[in-house]
Amino acid sequence: MKITYLGTGAAEGVPALFCNCSYCREARKRGGREVRSRAQVLYDDLSVDFPPDAFYHAAVMGADLSAIRYLLVTHSHMDHFNAHDLILRGYKYAHGMTEPRMDIYGNEEIAEIFGECTRREMKDVVAENIGVHPVGAFEELTFGGWRVHTLAARHSSLDPLVFLLEKDGKRALHLCDTGKLPEDDYEYLRCVGGAPVQLVTMDCTFLYEAHDEGARHMGLDDCREVLARLEEIGLADRRTKRVITHFSHNSSPSLATLRRAEREYDVIAAYDGMELTI
């Protein structure tokens, strides 16, 4: 399974869209890996989330977004689901697409937002090749060689989701956007069982920044706690790759700070365009 971290920033991006704090000014000067677009991760032909920066991911990083056969949407916030761009997936806007069809899975609000954002400009010839499937937490989905278990996220949107992904003997947990996982998630994962995952992708918006216990995102200590719980129930072990992502400009995620986090917490800090294979 090939995993590509196309976007590794929080909602405002890094440097933040309208911010002139010292960190953002410096990030603009430095450029390169100090710049972080909004969150999107590809797992083979499956994308988790579809942000406003998807065009940038295709134009600058060379991602073939037409190859996305399945789209899982964590929640309805604009940085994770920019439904309006999907009107361009066909007709005279897109020729020679790798995959003519896309199926989208998300909660009921995702289906509503898709309808709201596309109703004025969607062409029938495009709509007929996009399926929208409402799902809730603690469901098992199967499609195209994938088995996906939906989990409940701790976030501020309506019924947010995170996912356990399985394909061809490979398993990955995608845990963004969320605070520390609800207890029901661990019980569900315990029941699902199976071999330890080869990869955990974790929200680490706060990095070293102090935050409330019940926050809707995580920092490094929260990620460590989640990993310990996953190890307790047999869903992670020492061979599991541990990736942190979804960084906010408020946590000053410089390359130097992230190298420190990698050493101290035994994790991999994602950057835009980073690729892994499990």
CATH of the domain at 208: 3.60.15.10
Q: Give the domain range for residue 124.
A: 2-277
Total tally of structural domains belonging to the chain: 1
Q: Map residue 59 onto helix, strand or coil.
A: helix
C-alpha to C-alpha distance for 150 and 186, rounded to whole angstroms: 12
Ramachandran quadrant class, 198 (left: phi over 0; alpha: psi -120 to 50; beta: rest): alpha
Nearest to 34 by CA among 260, 201, 257, 242: 257
pLDDT for res 212: 93
The predicted structure's pLDDT at residue 252: 98
The whole-number mean pLDDT for each consecutive block of 10 residues of the chain, a chain of 278 residues, reads 98 98 98 98 98 98 98 97 98 98 98 97 98 98 98 94 98 97 98 98 98 95 98 98 98 98 98 98
Residue 157 confidence (pLDDT):
86
Q: pTM here?
A: 0.97
CA distances from 177 to 9, 31, 174, 206, 246 (A): 11, 25, 9, 12, 8
Tokens of 269: 């800090």
